[in-house]
Structure 1
Amino acid sequence: MRNPEKKSRIKMERREDLIQGTIRSIAAIGYSDATINTICEAAGLSRGLIGYYFKGKDELLIEAYRYLVAQANEDARRSVEGAGSDPMQRLLAATHMYFRRIKEEHEESLVTLACLGVAPWNAPMGELTRTLWRKYRGWIEKMIAAAATERNLDIDARKAAITYVHMGDGLWIGWLLDPEAYTLDEAEGILRDWLLDLFGDRPAAPPPAA
């Protein structure tokens, strides 16, 4: 009889393979054209295996999206923890990691964009997107509130978090759609400067030369 621990490990590995195959397939041909066949081919697995690990294509697509967000959240968490206890430095670290991931994980960014694009018409994807966005905005809101308290500033942390999160979303989506318009470093600088201006931490520009 097969070792239960080995069986469980194989199941996790196959699920991971299929999720990675989904990411590669969507990044290459788009959300609508990705099929069980293209996903299994990208994963290097037989089409008949998918039923053992997922109920169907829709569940697999949602799990791939959930996986991407979990990876991004873990990177952001580690980056913020490494920045120390100063909430402003933690916000800046989160901002840097946000754009660094988009630069380094271009394929994953395309898949995230594809998932967002179908969310209004796909109820499970829409529900997951709203849940994840609300969680992320809440995390940013807490850091903004902490930074404002530390600096004794009266800032509406909720509105600031909404602005921060969706300004960031707009910048990376805009870059994916038109990468010649600006660089990701410029995009990060725009969000970073907004954040510094919010807290009055950006150094004043030097006076023009006489």
Structure 2
Amino acid sequence: MADTEASSPERPPRTMSREARRTQLIESTIRTLATRGYARTTLTEVARTAGLSHGLVLFHFETKERLLSETLAWLAEEYRQNWQAALGSAGDDPADQLAAMIEADFAPTICTPERLAAWCAFWGEAQSRPLYQAACGEKDEDYTRTLEAICARMIRDGGYGLDPVFTARILRVTVEGVWLDMMTMARPYSVQEALDTVRLAASLCFPRHFPRA
């Protein structure tokens, strides 16, 4: 099949670098996962979404499994870099660090309908495939350990008498819960309301650090 790409904003020229082309195809895979789901995402559907030939997708990724694996790894690394950058800019105060990590989960580049839908598609496969754990297990553990350490400092400094492991878990599952709400509710609430919900959870755990408005 001939490559039907055209030089336009939607279809970058044939001279793009290999890395740029792979990024384009990964973004198209994210969009396809959002509209078609995990099982119905195929190389052909990704090619159609990208406006490229099936052969070009096959050349870069060879199989659906490899394409999905690299897409998940790309999402996981994007997420890791996002929260680590936010944490690095927050300073040494644990309350500022926690606020930065919470807000990072709702950054415009991370909390988009397409990305949330793609995450949900992968989460649905986590129990039956090693794909998620291979790509995200270590990064999830790093995030969890960091969140627990911040909570431990706040508990110690504020004399809250909480368990840092359970407290970090409350905050993490609240974030994941509002993400799922935004994907599954018939009338989902806004990103701002989702962020406010997680901030409320933080204020219930740490009222002196996060006073309620």
> Normalized against structure 2, the TM-score is what?
0.80
Q: Quick one: distance in 2 between partners of 1:172 and 1:72? A: 14
Q: Retained in 2: the 8 A contact 1:167–1:191?
A: yes
After superposition, the Cα gap between the structure-2 partners of 1:59 and 1:93, relative to the gap in structure 1 and judged at 3 Å, is same
1:200 aligns with 2:188: no
Sequence identity, in percent?
Answer: 24
Shifted more, 185-194 versus 57-66: the winner is 185-194
**Deviation of the 1:54 alpha carbon:** 2.2
Q: Give the CA RMSD over aligned residues.
A: 2.5
After superposition, the Cα gap between the structure-2 partners of 1:115 and 1:109, relative to the gap in structure 1 and judged at 3 Å, is same
1:148 aligns with 2:155: yes
Q: Which runs of 5+ in 1 are unaligned?
A: 1-8, 206-210
**Deviation of the 1:115 alpha carbon:** 0.9
Q: 1:159 aligns with which of 161, 166, 176?
A: 166
After superposition, the Cα gap between the structure-2 partners of 1:187 and 1:19, relative to the gap in structure 1 and judged at 3 Å, is same
Aligned to 1:119, the other structure's residue is in SS state coil
**Deviation of the 1:58 alpha carbon:** 1.0
**Deviation of the 1:40 alpha carbon:** 1.7
Residues 103-114 of structure 1: matches in 2 within 5 Å?
A: 105-114=112-121
Shifted more, 173-182 versus 54-63: the winner is 173-182
Q: Retained in 1: the 8 A contact 2:105–2:111?
A: no
Q: Which runs of 5+ in 2 are unaligned?
A: 1-15
After superposition, the Cα gap between the structure-2 partners of 1:105 and 1:181, relative to the gap in structure 1 and judged at 3 Å, is closer
Q: 1:186 aligns with which of 193, 196, 201?
A: 193
Q: Retained in 1: the 8 A contact 2:97–2:150?
A: yes
After superposition, the Cα gap between the structure-2 partners of 1:102 and 1:175, relative to the gap in structure 1 and judged at 3 Å, is farther
Residues 1-210 of structure 1: matches in 2 within 5 Å?
A: 10-101=17-108, 105-178=112-185, 180=187, 182-201=189-208, 202-203=210-211
Aligned length: 197
> Normalized against structure 1, the TM-score is what?
0.81
After superposition, the Cα gap between the structure-2 partners of 1:166 and 1:104, relative to the gap in structure 1 and judged at 3 Å, is closer
Q: Quick one: distance in 2 between partners of 1:122 and 1:192? A: 33
